[in-house]
Structure 1
Amino acid sequence: MIEFSVTGWSAWAPGLPQAQDWIDWAHAATPAAPLGEGAPALADVPPVMRRRIDRLGRMAISATDDCDVSPVREDVPLVFVSRHGDVAGSVELLRALGQAEPLSPTAFSLSVHNAVAALYSIVRKRHGNYLALAGGAASVENACIEAAALLADGAPEVLLVCYDGPLPEVYDDFADEPAHAYAWCWRLAAADAGGERLSLSWEADGLAPAPASALQHGLAVHHFLLSGQPQLDVAVEDQRWRWRRHG
């Protein structure tokens, strides 16, 4: 089991650009999945760089910016996590390869899994430690374990950035959860640092199935943080995860 505190958060999704929008969403009787094609403007980013940042990257950078409102030390690491990353860009590269078309070096460099983290570090001149993870259906939980390890290793805080979007149509038969574009950032610190104190435990899945969620998993975890619910059980890939709120 791991424990930590969430001392700040931010998020961005179509129709949910402000913190109060997310709070209202989390306390709705039936939280709706975010729909739409919007994206943050990132107006302060130079155009030559902004053109390189795709829609999902803009959401992730915007959420991280809004969570980083007070000074953060250079040695505060960032953990970026996305189950699928820019899979649409990868599919387009594979299509071009299959048709013997030349591949764009820029498109390739922006399709790798750490591209969003790298762009954020360049745009915001953050030269500290960052990681880019994908952990299957339990990507958020695996990222929290990584963040907890960084805290245990002496990091004063960790910024955890989670983002994902819809899969290309070619994957429709394989999708195992709803898919909508969103990004959120949590500011994590030691369990006794104040804020929302959470614990995360796990075991082999041998219990009754957890209720299915109408939200994709990353959104469901963020909903748990904002809603005030005491507990969230998740069963994925023969593993059961239990989120609990303390205090």
Structure 2
Amino acid sequence: MIEFSVVDWAAWAPGLTERSQWMDWARTPFLPQGEGTPALAEIPAMQRRRIERLGRMAIQTACWCEDGQGADSQVPLVFASRHGDVARSMELLGSLAANEPLSPTGFGLSVHNAIAALYSIARGHRGNYLALAAGQATVEAACLEAVGLLADGAPEVRIVVYESPLPDVYAEFADEPDPFFAWCWRLAPADAAGSGLRLAWQATEGAPQTAPGLLPHALDLHRFLLGQDASLEHVSQGQRWCWSRRV
């Protein structure tokens, strides 16, 4: 079991760009839909042009969650996404299939840690960062990594979670809804002020996976943070993840 506090958060999705909108959404959740891209005014225009919609969403929430006191350049970052910028990868695969030359820039921006690297370069971040993917347990894996960094002495860790719809060629493999969204949590030790959370887990081999709901699991966890539910359970790939609030 691990425990931590979420001392601040930021989120962006189509139609949900203000904190008040997210709080209303948490009370009556719906699947975000629509167009739109964050302005990302914090990033210089020359660098901003290289960032696709998914990256803009993720980086925007990371920028919004900076503490504004100059300490962010060393705060560890955990970027977490099940599929990353898979649409860009599909473009590269299409070029290969057509015997067309690959764009070096396109390839460099398709790797799983590209969005984290773009944020680090643009914001002058010099601390530890990583990018991970762990299926429907991606947020849980990110929190485990973050708590390990806290135990190593980091005063805070920022988790950035972001997803986008799968390309049509992968649609048959989708196991949950897949809207565009991104959120960032600032995690601190359990005794810090903020929203205290507890995460426990146990092996449940043979147990059925949690059926898909209205929201993807990662977005449902953000709803849980903002809401009033006492607990949230999720079964995936032989593990039962149990979220609860620290009182």
- Residues 208, 115 of structure 1: CA spacing in aligned structure 2 closer, same or farther, 3 A cutoff? closer
1:197 corresponds to: 196
2:152 corresponds to: 153
Structure 2 SS opposite 1:74? helix
- Residues 93, 210 of structure 1: CA spacing in aligned structure 2 closer, same or farther, 3 A cutoff? closer
1:168 corresponds to: 167
> Is 2:117 aligned against 1:118?
yes
Contact 1:213 1:220 in 2 (8 A): no
Structure 2 SS opposite 1:159? strand
1:45 aligns with one of 43, 46, 49: 43
Question: RMSD value over aligned CA atoms?
Answer: 1.3
- Residues 212, 173 of structure 1: CA spacing in aligned structure 2 closer, same or farther, 3 A cutoff? closer
- Residues 211, 137 of structure 1: CA spacing in aligned structure 2 closer, same or farther, 3 A cutoff? closer
Q: How many residues align?
A: 245
Q: Encode CA deviations 1:20-61: one digit per residue, 9 max, x unaligned.
A: 110000011xx1111011110123422221111000110111
Q: Encode CA deviations 1:113-172: one digit per residue, 9 max, x unaligned.
A: 001000001111111111111111110000100001000111000001000010000011
Q: Distance in 2 between matches of 1:149 and 1:205?
A: 24
Structure 1 SS opposite 2:31? coil
Gaps of 5+ in 1: none
Structure 1 SS opposite 2:166? coil
Structure 2 SS opposite 1:34? coil
- Residues 210, 103 of structure 1: CA spacing in aligned structure 2 closer, same or farther, 3 A cutoff? closer
Contact 2:73 2:124 in 1 (8 A): no
1:70 aligns with one of 45, 65, 68: 68
2:22 corresponds to: 22
Provide runs of 4+ in structure 1 moved above 6 Å. none
Q: Distance in 1 between matches of 2:209 and 2:237?
A: 12
2:13 corresponds to: 13
Q: Distance in 2 between matches of 1:50 and 1:119?
A: 9
Structure 2 SS opposite 1:136? coil
- Residues 44, 208 of structure 1: CA spacing in aligned structure 2 closer, same or farther, 3 A cutoff? closer
Q: Distance in 1 between matches of 2:43 and 2:146?
A: 28
